[in-house]
């Protein structure tokens, strides 16, 4: 993936990892479009940055995704990179019957949202030079945190989907997976101050260095996530489950 001269759409661009990726890619000379539900935080992301734009998009609404994609392609025909970053995490108690609203919302946002948006753009991307799709998964796709089971399942599913997407689009569209460790953002309330989590600026710095490698790695993995990504292969999966559960 080239790191300059792109037109990039980043979902979940109003905060956290999405906001910082937007700033860094914009600084490299890309046109960046950030998408999310809350207009006010998107406006904060783009404030003072010429060539960065904001659009509101509800990733739970399939009709909104289709309409938004059509408008984007009409307004920005040079669009060639999609970063599927939007996601939510909710705690769930599986020991009793419960309302499944949060579980269903998580699957729709974290899995169906990226599938739908990629689908809406893929014909265009297949005709674009230097096109790329970046799916943001998680280290928890490989070692789940039991307190957030549907989040972990959605990221594991997105990892698997990304593998198939990469194989089918080989030679047409570059497909990259970005799997963060626990990062100090507000994905969960209080997470931005949590012990043992990676500082956001350090994560972004290492991530952008990896994006700059030639060729770009198929998986963008900062050093800290390796413990989770390779837990099963390296024989410490049970230990990793216990460590993750402590958080």
| C-alpha torsion angle, residues 119, 153, 163, 131 (rounded to 10) | 40
Beta strand pairing call for 219-220 and 174-178: parallel
DSSP secondary structure code for residue 235 in this structure? T
The C-alpha atoms of residue 7 and residue 91 are separated, in whole angstroms, by 35
Residue 224: DSSP 8-state: G
Which residue of the set 25, 125, 142, 151 is catalytic? 151
10: closest CA among 148, 104, 101, 132? 132
151 assigned to active site: yes
- DSSP secondary structure of 88-150: ------TTS----HHHHHHHIIIIIHHHHHHHHHHHHHHHSTT-EEEEE--GGGTS--TTSHH
Active site residues: 151
């Amino acid at each position: 993936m080239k790191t300059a001269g792109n037109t990039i759409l980043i979902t979940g661009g109003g905060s956290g990892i999405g906001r910082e990726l937007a700033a860094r890619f914009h600084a490299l000379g890309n046109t960046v479009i950030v998408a999310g539900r809350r207009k006010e935080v998107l406006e904060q992301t783009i404030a003072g940055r010429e060539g960065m734009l904001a659009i509101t998009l509800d990733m739970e609404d399939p009709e909104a995704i289709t309409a938004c994609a059509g408008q984007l392609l009409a307004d920005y025909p040079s669009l060639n990179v999609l970063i599927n970053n939007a996601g939510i995490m909710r705690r769930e108690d599986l020991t009793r019957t419960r309302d499944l609203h949060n579980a269903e919302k998580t699957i729709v946002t974290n899995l169906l949202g990226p599938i739908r948006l990629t689908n809406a753009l893929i014909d265009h991307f297949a005709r674009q030079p230097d096109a790329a799709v970046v799916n943001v998964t998680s280290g928890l796709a490989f070692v789940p945190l039991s307190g957030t089971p549907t989040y972990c399942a959605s990221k594991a599913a997105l990892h698997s989907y990304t593998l198939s997407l990469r194989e089918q689009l080989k030679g047409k569209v570059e497909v990259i997976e970005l799997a963060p460790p626990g990062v100090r953002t507000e994905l969960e309330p209080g997470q931005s101050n949590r012990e043992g989590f990676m500082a956001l600026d350090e994560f972004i710095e290492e991530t952008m260095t990896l994006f700059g490698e030639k060729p770009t790695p198929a998986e963008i993995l900062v050093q800290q996530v390796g413990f989770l990504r390779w837990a099963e292969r390296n024989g410490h999966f049970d230990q990793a489950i216990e460590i993750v559960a402590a958080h």
